[in-house]
C-alpha cells in the first residue's frame, strides 16, 4: 500500500483529512478496476486545483510584473500552468510513486503519463486548498511553481515559437514555413517525433517531442536561434 505520509513529509504539509490526499492520487482507472475500494477518483479535485492554481499564478504575475501588459502576463501564466510544467513538477516531487492506477495505466509512459501526472498535481493543489485553505495552497504553489518564471522567461518558453517564426519568415524571407515529420521512434504509447522546418527549399532546423505539435514548437524554437530571431 502507498505510504502517503512520505509524500506529506516531502512537501512539508500534514493533512488533517488524510482521505483528501489519497483521493488526489486516485486515478479513475483504479476505481474502475477496484470497484469495491470505496475510494473516489481525483477529477473533482483536479477541477478545483486548476482554478486555484490559475488564481494564485495570476495574482503573483499581476503583482510581480506591474509594467507587463495582459497579453504578456497571459503567456507567462500559460507557460507556468501547462501540462508540461505541471508534469515536470510532479516528477520532481515523485508524484508517480504514489499514484493509484489500473494495471494498464501504470504501464503508460510518454504523453499519456505526462497528462496523468499533471492532472494529479492539480488534484493535489485542490486537496491542499480544501485541507489547508487558500494560504496553504498558495504556499505550495509559491514554493514549487512560481520560481520557474525565471527559467521560462530566460528560455523563451512562454513564446509561441511557431507563430513567431512564421511572422519573422514572412517579414524577412517573404515565405511561410513548412513542417515535415522526418522520424518517428518508440512504441505507440511512447512515440517520439522529429520534425524539420523549411523555408522554401531550405531546411532551417529540426526539433523533437512527444507529439508532432511539441516537435514543431521545438523545431521553430531552434529555427529562431539559427536565424538570430530569438526573443
pLDDT value of position 186: 82
Q: Please state the domain count of the chain.
A: 2
Which range is least confidently modeled, 1-10, 38-47, 187-196?
187-196
Q: C-alpha grid cell for residue 20? A: 483528501
Residue identified by cell 518564471 is 149
6 counts as catalytic: no
Total residue count of the chain as it appears in this document: 231
Residues 175-202 have a mean pLDDT of: 90
pLDDT value of position 108: 66
pLDDT value of position 189: 66
- Total-model pTM: 0.78
Residue 193 binned pLDDT confidence (cut-offs 50, 70, 90): very high
Q: What order of strands is seen across the sheet that includes strand 178-185?
A: 178-185, 192-199, 202-209
Percent of the chain past pLDDT 70, that is, above it, reads 95
- Selected catalytic residue, list 50, 131, 214, 216: 50
Give the DSSP H/E element, type plus range, for residue 206.
strand 202-209
Residues 22-31 have a mean pLDDT of: 95
Q: What does the DSSP 8-state code read for residue 173?
A: T
Instruction: Say whether both 98 and 50 belong to one domain.
Output: yes
3-class DSSP assignment, residue 203: strand
Percent of the chain past pLDDT 90, that is, above it, reads 73
List the one residue out of 46, 71, 35 whose CA is nearest residue 121. 46
pLDDT value of position 111: 67
- Cα separation of 83 and 71, whole Å? 20
pLDDT value of position 154: 86
pLDDT value of position 105: 75
Instruction: Say whether both 33 and 86 belong to one domain.
Output: yes
CATH code at 26?
A: 1.10.1520.10
Which domain does 73 fall in, by range? 4-154
Choose the final residue of a domain: 154, 173, 208: 154
Instruction: Say whether both 138 and 214 belong to one domain.
Output: no
Residue identified by cell 478545483 is 48
Q: What does the DSSP 8-state code read for residue 39?
A: -
Residues 106-112 have a mean pLDDT of: 67
CA angle 45, 51, 54 (to 5 degrees): 135
122 counts as catalytic: yes
Residue identified by cell 476505481 is 31
- Cα separation of 85 and 118, whole Å? 8
Choose the final residue of a domain: 115, 134, 154: 154
- Selected catalytic residue, list 122, 131, 214, 216: 122
CA dist 55 → 19, 132, 152, 174 (Å): 25, 16, 19, 41
- Is 168 a residue whose pLDDT tops 70? yes
Other Cβ atoms less than 10 A from the Cβ of 83: the count is 16
Instruction: Say whether both 176 and 68 belong to one domain.
Output: no
Amino acid at each position: 500500500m502507498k505510504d502517503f505520509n512520505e509524500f506529506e513529509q516531502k512537501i512539508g504539509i500534514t493533512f488533517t483529512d488524510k482521505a483528501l490526499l489519497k483521493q488526489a492520487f486516485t486515478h479513475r482507472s483504479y476505481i474502475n478496476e477496484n470497484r469495491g475500494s470505496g475510494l473516489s477518483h481525483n477529477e473533482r479535485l483536479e477541477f478545483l486545483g486548476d482554478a486555484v492554481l490559475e488564481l494564485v499564478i495570476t495574482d503573483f504575475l499581476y503583482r510581480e510584473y506591474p509594467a507587463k501588459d495582459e497579453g504578456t502576463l497571459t503567456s507567462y501564466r500559460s507557460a507556468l500552468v501547462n501540462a508540461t510544467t505541471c508534469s515536470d513538477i510532479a516528477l520532481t516531487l515523485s508524484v508517480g510513486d504514489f499514484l493509484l492506477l489500473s494495471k494498464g495505466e501504470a504501464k503508460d509512459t510518454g504523453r499519456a503519463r505526462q497528462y496523468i501526472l499533471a492532472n494529479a498535481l492539480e488534484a493535489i493543489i485542490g486537496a491542499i486548498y480544501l485541507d489547508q485553505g487558500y494560504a496553504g495552497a498558495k504556499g505550495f504553489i509559491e514554493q514549487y511553481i512560481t520560481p520557474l518564471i525565471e527559467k521560462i522567461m530566460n528560455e523563451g518558453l512562454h513564446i509561441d515559437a511557431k507563430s513567431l517564426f512564421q511572422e519573422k519568415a514572412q517579414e524577412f524571407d517573404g515565405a511561410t514555413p513548412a513542417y515535415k515529420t522526418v522520424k518517428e521512434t518508440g512504441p505507440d504509447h511512447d512515440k517520439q517525433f522529429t520534425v524539420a522546418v523549411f523555408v522554401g527549399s531550405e531546411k532551417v532546423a529540426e526539433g523533437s517531442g512527444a507529439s508532432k505539435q511539441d516537435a514543431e514548437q521545438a523545431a521553430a524554437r531552434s529555427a529562431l536561434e539559427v536565424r538570430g530571431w530569438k526573443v
